[in-house]
Structure 1
Amino acid sequence: MVGESIEGLKKRELLRSLIDANKVGDLMRKKFETVDPETALSDVVAKMKSSDLHEIPVVDGKKLLGVISYGTVIRKKNLVIGTKAKTMVESTPEISLETPLTEVAEHFLSSGYRHLPVTKGKTIQGIITRANVISVLPKLKEIKSLKVSDVMSDSARSVHEKDLIKNAMGLMRDLEVRTVPVVDDYDRLVGIIGIKDLVQYSWSGAGTPNQGRKDMAGNNNPVELEVRSLMHDSPITLTADDALTKAINTMVDKNISTIPVVSGERMVGIVTKYDILELVASVRNRDMVYTQISGLEEEDRFSLDTMEKEIQSGLAKIAKFTRPLLFTIHVSKYNNTGNTAKYSLIGRLTTENSHFMSKAVDWSLGQATVELMDNLDRIVTEKKEHNLDVRMKKNLHKKV
């Protein structure tokens, strides 16, 4: 165990130094689009679509005020398109030309943004993207041995091709994702749909025959359209055994964030830029495990202390077998009946040797967290015992 920890530490330190040797100023976009505070939301969305941006900086002269995000747009209900940009601005993490790339990756995870402004003081200098960060990995020999299965999520949610657009938007809102795979009646992958497709349709001012105006509210749009009418057919796919570098190069070259992982015609998982950023952030120098909880609604934040206590307790148990580096957990609510809702939790753990995923569902957020951490502890223990058994068998064969 000690030998493995020292070896793992050396590998992480080497990988961190190689990643952080890449400078933000060399990777960022120096030419970028912005909007001013008085720009109408309809024009903001149009510019984001034409420039292929998930976030766009709002500036007053050269001073950065914040960004407007697609995520903000779909979270707002009954939002009038005539709304000005200044009422939609969100703050961003502070990233300078000197910020280490592993820290930038952590900011992407914590903020959920796809594009982040780089500043000097209050003045914007450029834009760095998730693709910019992960693009440095394929050239590192330490990454070349990894497979898609090492980072992919094997519990990806999908929508049916006959589902309504509003259902796809609801799933994206609940899971805080921007792209969702589409399946047919036989659970076969038939397409993929992204937030840019949905936002452009829902907020473009297309409207019904009597609503073709730019100032209409979001819930007045004709969202009875089926997903298959907007989805992208024949999506790019990978297998679990494909090299991770292939996934990264495909994402960067094709400008896509999400790739379904298939076995035959069936989807068995999904790999995203977020998954790869977790790998980058996991090697950052820190004294404690990086932990993030997303999807928690304001009314459930009273359970945050309980969740954090159970998470820390669970990670302490896991630390007896392997060192936890990064843990993310996403909370979704469904089956709302009166004052009662059911909670669905998905947790992803990165350790010094592997990646693990666990799910839990319960009417109690605290109990769901306990179940999630117990599941993770069991999975990690089983993996450790399996590895030990494999080593023992190898040693026996050597003696024979």
Structure 2
Amino acid sequence: MKRPKVQDLKVSAFMASDVVTASPDETIGDVLGKMKKHDIHEIPVMDRKQVAGVVTMRELMRRRSLPPSTKASTVMLSGPELGPTADLPFAAELMITSGFRTLPVIDKKRLVGVLSRTDLVRALVASGSLEGTRVGDIMTPNPQCVAESDKVDHAVRLMQSLGERSVPVVDRNRRLKGVLGMKDITDLFARPKSREQYGERVGRGEKVEIEVKGVMRYPPVTVGPDADVHRAAELMVEHEISSVIVAQEEAPVGILTKADLLHVLAGLREREQLFVEIGGLEDEPAEAYDRIYAIVQKEMKKIAELVIPRTLSLHVQKYKPDGDRWKYSVRCRFATSHHMYYAHEFDWDLGLALSALLEGLYRRIVKEKERKITEKKKRRSA
């Protein structure tokens, strides 16, 4: 029996109809308890049978100094909604642009379900859309890692700066020892009856510090770079994890996340323009977005002459290596109709970093085109 294309599948076929919700007056301690019990990280807040907002683990971690008695209405966020007849590539794009990992599904102003990243990965597995694609072609290479002896607070800051939900854990020889994810850290928050919260100063002003090796998962779920993406997606669903580590000779060489798979799914949506996602610019002025879009538009005109662009994901980090001057790190994930590219660039100026990144991407694509043409000529002359 022929499997349906994932582009033709609808939200209603994969959403969860049994929804865990909270009320505006519930405490965040109670909400964290529900997250722990049901192994979820986002909970809709219902007010008079209407969705008033969503409480997310990411927001609670960002504001972890709040007492457990804080009401859910204080920390809930407003977000987009889906209809049950929406197609899955559209749902994937909406998750990417909004930053939410679970979206409420509304029909006739009534909450009828929720759709999560896991549901979308299940759809990709069920449709066989990922079969025949190498993990190495769409993984994020050279992942940033944490050490076993690093403090959990450091790992949390790293995940937040990268926009990721998990990081590989390595020893001093960079051998893979485990993985630390948001799920593992939930236990440190989900203590509604405890007065001591993770990261809070207790006793005589000492900060509670926990080492990564005390909460990491091991052994980590791994695949090789030549493994099939379909199998990697199956592992995510089977083990209920957000990523698999790509390892070679005991060392992490990449990471494949549900976010990577969502970009593949969003890239299947028919659109006239390139889909662009930008993260990490929350502290930058609005003009920064205008400058970035202008640079992207200029560079993509050249790239579009060589390949068919689908999606471009940019993530910006800024740090102070010396003194008070900011330096920018720009990472990109660029999907075409046939390939996934990754690039990374640094500069003291954000615009120059982005321009150099996209120019380098253009040169790589040109070289690949030239190599393929040369190979074709050799085959014809053989």
Indicate if the aligned counterparts of 2:199 and 2:209 stay in contact, CA closer than 8 A.
no
Q: 1:146 to 1:277 in 2, by over 3 A?
A: same
Instruction: After TM superposition, give the deviation of residue 370 of structure 1 in Å.
Output: 1.0
**Alignment correspondent of 1:198:** 185
| Residue among 132, 136, 139 paired with 1:152 | 139
CA RMSD of aligned residues (A): 2.0
| Residue among 336, 352, 358 paired with 2:337 | 352
Indicate if the aligned counterparts of 1:92 and 1:111 stay in contact, CA closer than 8 A.
yes
- What are the superposed Cα offsets for residues 169-201 of structure 1, whole Å, 9 maximum, x if unpaired? 110111121111101100111000111322431
Counterpart Cα distance in 1 of 2:13 and 2:129:
22
Identity, % of aligned positions: 33
**Alignment correspondent of 1:231:** 216
TM-score (norm: length of structure 2): 0.93
**Alignment correspondent of 1:256:** 241
For structure 2, the 5+ residue unaligned runs are none
Specify the code of the residue in structure 2 equivalent to 1:19.
V
TM-score (norm: length of structure 1): 0.89
Q: 1:140 to 1:174 in 2, by over 3 A?
A: same
Counterpart Cα distance in 1 of 2:208 and 2:317:
22
Please tell me whether residue 109 in structure 1 is matched to residue 96 in structure 2.
yes
Instruction: After TM superposition, give the deviation of residue 289 of structure 1 in Å.
Output: 0.2
Please tell me whether residue 220 in structure 1 is matched to residue 201 in structure 2.
yes
For structure 1, the 5+ residue unaligned runs are 1-14, 207-211
Specify the code of the residue in structure 2 equivalent to 1:327.
L
Specify the code of the residue in structure 1 equivalent to 2:201.
N
- Residues 283-302 of structure 1 aligned to structure 2 (within 5 Å): 283-302=268-287
- What are the superposed Cα offsets for residues 98-131 of structure 1, whole Å, 9 maximum, x if unpaired? 1111100101211222221111243211011112
Please tell me whether residue 188 in structure 1 is matched to residue 175 in structure 2.
yes
Instruction: After TM superposition, give the deviation of residue 96 of structure 1 in Å.
Output: 0.6
| Residue among 367, 372, 380 paired with 2:357 | 372
Moved more, 355-364 or 68-77: 68-77
Q: 1:353 to 1:127 in 2, by over 3 A?
A: same
**Alignment correspondent of 1:27:** 14
Counterpart Cα distance in 2 of 1:35 and 1:86:
10
- What are the superposed Cα offsets for residues 206-235 of structure 1, whole Å, 9 maximum, x if unpaired? 8xxxxx516x58543744211111101111
Indicate if the aligned counterparts of 1:118 and 1:127 stay in contact, CA closer than 8 A.
yes
Instruction: After TM superposition, give the deviation of residue 134 of structure 1 in Å.
Output: 2.0
| Residue among 315, 334, 349 paired with 2:319 | 334
Specify the code of the residue in structure 2 equivalent to 1:303.
A
Specify the code of the residue in structure 1 equivalent to 2:246.
V
**Alignment correspondent of 1:50:** 37
Counterpart Cα distance in 2 of 1:107 and 1:223:
38
**Alignment correspondent of 2:77:** 90
| Residue among 301, 304, 307 paired with 1:322 | 307
Please tell me whether residue 244 in structure 1 is matched to residue 229 in structure 2.
yes
**Alignment correspondent of 1:305:** 290
Specify the code of the residue in structure 1 equivalent to 2:260.
D
Aligned residue for 2:297, secondary structure, equals: helix
Counterpart Cα distance in 2 of 1:300 and 1:332:
15
**Alignment correspondent of 1:363:** 348
Q: 1:300 to 1:164 in 2, by over 3 A?
A: farther
Indicate if the aligned counterparts of 1:356 and 1:379 stay in contact, CA closer than 8 A.
no
Please tell me whether residue 390 in structure 1 is matched to residue 375 in structure 2.
yes
Indicate if the aligned counterparts of 1:54 and 1:113 stay in contact, CA closer than 8 A.
no
